[in-house]
Amino acid sequence: MGCGFCGAALPNIFATLVVDCVLKPVVRQFDYVRRFHDNVEKLREKKRELADARDRLLHKIEDAKNRLLLIENDVQNLQSRADETLSDMGTLEEEIQLNKRCLNWCPNWSWRYQLSKKAMKKIQGISELLDKFRQLGHVGYCAPTALPTIDFLCSKEFVFSKSSETTFYQIIEALKDENINMIGLWGMGGVGKTTLAREVGSQAQKLNLFEKVVITVVSQKPNFERIQDQIAQYIGFDMKNKQGRRSEQELWLRLKNEPRILIIVDDILESINLKEKIGIPIGDDHKGCKVLLTTRRKRVCQIMECRPVVELDCLDDDEAWTLFEKKAGLDDFSDDSIKTPAKKIVKKCGGLPIAIVPLASALKGKTNCHEWQAAYRRLEGRRLTEIEDVDERNAYVILETSFDYLKDMMTKTCFLLCSLFPEDHEIYVDDLVGYAWGLELYKGMDSIKDVRSEVLASIEILKNSGLLLDSGEMHVKMHDVVRQFALWIGSSRKEISFGTVETLPMDESFKHYTAISFETDQTDELPKGVGFPYLKLLLHGGNRFLETSSEFFEGMKALQVCALKYQLISLAAFKFNMNLRTLCLINCELSDISMLGKLKTLHILSLSQSDITELPTEAGDLENLRLLDLSYCDDLRRIAPNLIQRLSNLEELYLHGCSSLKWATENSTKKESYSSLSELNSLPKLVVISLDISSKHLPDGFVFRRLWSFDFCIGIKRPKWYQKSETCPISRSLRIKKSVDACKQLLENVESLQLNDVEGHPNLIPSLDLGFSKLTSLGLRLCHFMQCLIDSPKQQVPITTLSNLRKLSLSCMFDLEEMCNAPQPQGFLQKLEEVIVSDCDKMQVLFPNVELKSIELEGPSSHLCLQSLKIVKIKRCNNLKYIFPMSVANSLEQLHTLKIKSYSQLEDIIQDRQAAYKCLLQSLREVSLIDLPQLKGRDVNDIMLTQLSLQKLKVHNCPQLTHFIISTTIRVYIILYIYLLIRFFFSLIICCLNSCLKDRIYFIILVEN
CATH of the domain at 385: 1.10.8
Q: E strands within 761-806?
A: 763-765, 777-781, 788-790
- What's the average model confidence in pLDDT over 412-428? 90
Q: Assess whether 291 and 349 both reside in one domain.
A: no
pLDDT interval class at 637 (50, 70, 90): very high
Give the HSE-up count for residue 811: Cα atoms under 13 Å, Cβ half-sphere: 15
Mean pLDDT of the chain: 78
- Provide the phi-psi class of 632: left if phi over 0, else alpha when psi is between -120 and 50, else beta: left
Contact 790, 820 (CB under 8 A): yes
From CA 259, how far away is CA 209, in angstroms rounded? 11
Single-letter code of the amino acid located at 446: D
**Sequence-distant (≥ 6) Cβ neighbours of residue 776 within 8 angstroms:** 751, 752, 804, 805, 806, 807, 831
Which of helix, strand or coil describes residue 48?
Answer: helix
pLDDT interval class at 525 (50, 70, 90): low
**Sequence-distant (≥ 6) Cβ neighbours of residue 257 within 8 angstroms:** none
Going by C-alpha positions, the residue among 555, 552, 605 that lies closest to residue 580 is: 605
The dihedral formed by the CA atoms of 555, 557, 562 and 567, expressed in degrees to the nearest 10: 30
Please give the pLDDT value at position 810: 95
- Residue 928 dihedral angles phi and psi, to the nearest 5°: -135, 120
Contact 766, 796 (CB under 8 A): no
Q: Assess whether 240 and 368 both reside in one domain.
A: no
- Cα angle 796, 798, 804 (rounded to 5 degrees) comes to 145
Please give the pLDDT value at position 605: 96
In a domain, 820, yes or no: no
CATH number for the domain that contains residue 155: 3.40.50.300
Contact 239, 228 (CB under 8 A): yes
In a domain, 697, yes or no: no
Residue 307 has pLDDT above 80, yes or no: yes
Residue 986 has pLDDT above 50, yes or no: no
From CA 575, how far away is CA 477, in angstroms rounded? 35
Residue 443 has pLDDT above 50, yes or no: yes
Going by C-alpha positions, the residue among 569, 562, 604, 610 that lies closest to residue 587 is: 610
From CA 653, how far away is CA 630, in angstroms rounded? 8
Residue 977 has pLDDT above 60, yes or no: no
Residue 369 has pLDDT above 80, yes or no: yes
Q: Assess whether 216 and 359 both reside in one domain.
A: no
Q: Assess whether 262 and 328 both reside in one domain.
A: no
Q: Assess whether 155 and 278 both reside in one domain.
A: yes
Q: Assess whether 241 and 382 both reside in one domain.
A: no
Q: Assess whether 323 and 368 both reside in one domain.
A: yes
pLDDT interval class at 941 (50, 70, 90): very low
Residue 983 has pLDDT above 50, yes or no: no
pLDDT interval class at 988 (50, 70, 90): very low
Contact 926, 952 (CB under 8 A): yes
pLDDT interval class at 981 (50, 70, 90): very low
Please give the pLDDT value at position 570: 86
Going by C-alpha positions, the residue among 995, 977, 920, 872 that lies closest to residue 111 is: 995
Please give the pLDDT value at position 970: 33
Pick the more confident residue, 1006 or 742.
Answer: 742
Q: Which helix (H) or strand (E) holds 983?
A: helix 967-984
DSSP secondary structure, 659-688, as one string: TT-----TT--STT----THHHHT-TT--E
End residue of a domain, out of 281, 311, 341: 311
Q: Assess whether 306 and 330 both reside in one domain.
A: no
Q: Assess whether 352 and 291 both reside in one domain.
A: no
Contact 119, 93 (CB under 8 A): no
Chain length of the chain = 1009
Please give the pLDDT value at position 435: 95
From CA 88, how far away is CA 32, in angstroms rounded? 20
Residue 366 has pLDDT above 90, yes or no: no
In a domain, 214, yes or no: yes
Three-state SS letters, 58-93 = HHHHHHHHHCCCEECHHHHHHHHHHHHHHHHHHHHH
In a domain, 516, yes or no: no
Contact 819, 802 (CB under 8 A): no
From CA 69, how far away is CA 141, in angstroms rounded? 5
Please give the pLDDT value at position 234: 84
**Sequence-distant (≥ 6) Cβ neighbours of residue 280 within 8 angstroms:** 231, 251, 252, 255, 263, 265, 274, 289, 291
pLDDT interval class at 152 (50, 70, 90): very low
- What's the average model confidence in pLDDT over 5-30? 50
pLDDT interval class at 1000 (50, 70, 90): very low
Residue 724 has pLDDT above 80, yes or no: no
Residue 557 has pLDDT above 70, yes or no: yes
What is the sign, positive or negative, of the torsion defined by CA atoms of 787, 788, 789, 793? negative
End residue of a domain, out of 265, 292, 311: 311
333-347, 483-497, 721-735: which is most confident = 333-347
Q: Which domain holds residue 208?
A: 150-311
752-756 and 777-781 as β-strands: parallel, antiparallel, unpaired? parallel
pLDDT interval class at 400 (50, 70, 90): confident
pLDDT tens-digit readout, 154-181: 555 556 677 788 889 999 999 999 899 9
Please give the pLDDT value at position 995: 36
pLDDT interval class at 738 (50, 70, 90): confident
pLDDT tens-digit readout, 198-243: 999 988 988 899 989 999 988 777 888 889 988 888 888 888 877 7
- What's the average model confidence in pLDDT over 729-736? 82
DSSP secondary structure, 338-404, as one string: HHHHHHHHHHHHTT-HHHHHHHHHHHTT---HHHHHHHHHHHHH---TTSS-HHHHHHHHHHHHHHH
Contact 639, 614 (CB under 8 A): yes
Which of helix, strand or coil describes residue 653?
Answer: strand
Q: E strands within 502-626?
A: 515-518, 537-540, 546-548, 561-565, 567-570, 582-586, 589-591, 604-606, 614-615
Q: Which of 578-587, 597-606, 637-646, 986-995 has the lowest mean pLDDT?
A: 986-995
Going by C-alpha positions, the residue among 144, 307, 163 that lies closest to residue 236 is: 144
What is the sign, positive or negative, of the torsion defined by CA atoms of 659, 663, 665, 671? positive
Going by C-alpha positions, the residue among 711, 861, 884, 891 that lies closest to residue 800 is: 861
Residue 975 has pLDDT above 80, yes or no: no
pLDDT interval class at 96 (50, 70, 90): low
Residue 428 has pLDDT above 50, yes or no: yes
Residue 447 has pLDDT above 50, yes or no: yes
Please give the pLDDT value at position 3: 52
In a domain, 160, yes or no: yes
Q: E strands within 623-772?
A: 627-629, 638-639, 652-655, 688-693, 709-714, 732-737, 752-756, 763-765
Which of helix, strand or coil describes residue 631?
Answer: coil
- Among residues of the chain, what percentage have pLDDT more than 70? 76
pLDDT interval class at 482 (50, 70, 90): confident
Q: Assess whether 336 and 268 both reside in one domain.
A: no
* C-alpha distances in Å from residue 909, one per residue of 308, 369, 880, 915, 943: 51, 62, 10, 10, 11
In a domain, 300, yes or no: yes
- Residue 893 dihedral angles phi and psi, to the nearest 5°: -75, -20
Rounded (to 5) percent helix, strand, coil in the chain = 40, 15, 45
Please give the pLDDT value at position 669: 61
Please give the pLDDT value at position 520: 62
In a domain, 396, yes or no: yes
Q: Interhelix angle for 448-464 vs 429-438, to 10°?
A: 120
pLDDT tens-digit readout, 242-296: 778 888 889 999 899 888 999 999 988 888 999 999 999 988 888 899 999 998 7
Please give the pLDDT value at position 110: 62
In a domain, 258, yes or no: yes
- What's the average model confidence in pLDDT over 727-741? 80
Q: Interhelix angle for 353-363 vs 390-404, to 10°?
A: 20
Please give the pLDDT value at position 149: 54
- Residue 866 dihedral angles phi and psi, to the nearest 5°: -105, 55
Please give the pLDDT value at position 332: 84
Q: Assess whether 214 and 358 both reside in one domain.
A: no
From CA 216, how far away is CA 278, in angstroms rounded? 11
pTM for this model (two decimals): 0.68
Please give the pLDDT value at position 860: 42
Count of domains for the chain? 2
Buried b vs exposed e over 206-228: b needs ≥16 C-beta within 10 Å?
eeebbebbbbbbbbeebbeeebb
pLDDT interval class at 721 (50, 70, 90): very low
- What's the average model confidence in pLDDT over 564-583? 86
Please give the pLDDT value at position 858: 45
Single-letter code of the amino acid located at 372: W
Q: Which helix (H) or strand (E) holds 970?
A: helix 967-984
The dihedral formed by the CA atoms of 666, 668, 669 and 670, expressed in degrees to the nearest 10: -100
Q: Assess whether 164 and 293 both reside in one domain.
A: yes
Going by C-alpha positions, the residue among 51, 46, 53 that lies closest to residue 119 is: 46
From CA 360, how far away is CA 401, in angstroms rounded? 11
Residue 978 has pLDDT above 70, yes or no: no
From CA 46, how far away is CA 812, in angstroms rounded? 25
How many other C-beta atoms lie within 10 A of the C-beta of residue 793?
Answer: 9
End residue of a domain, out of 350, 370, 405: 405
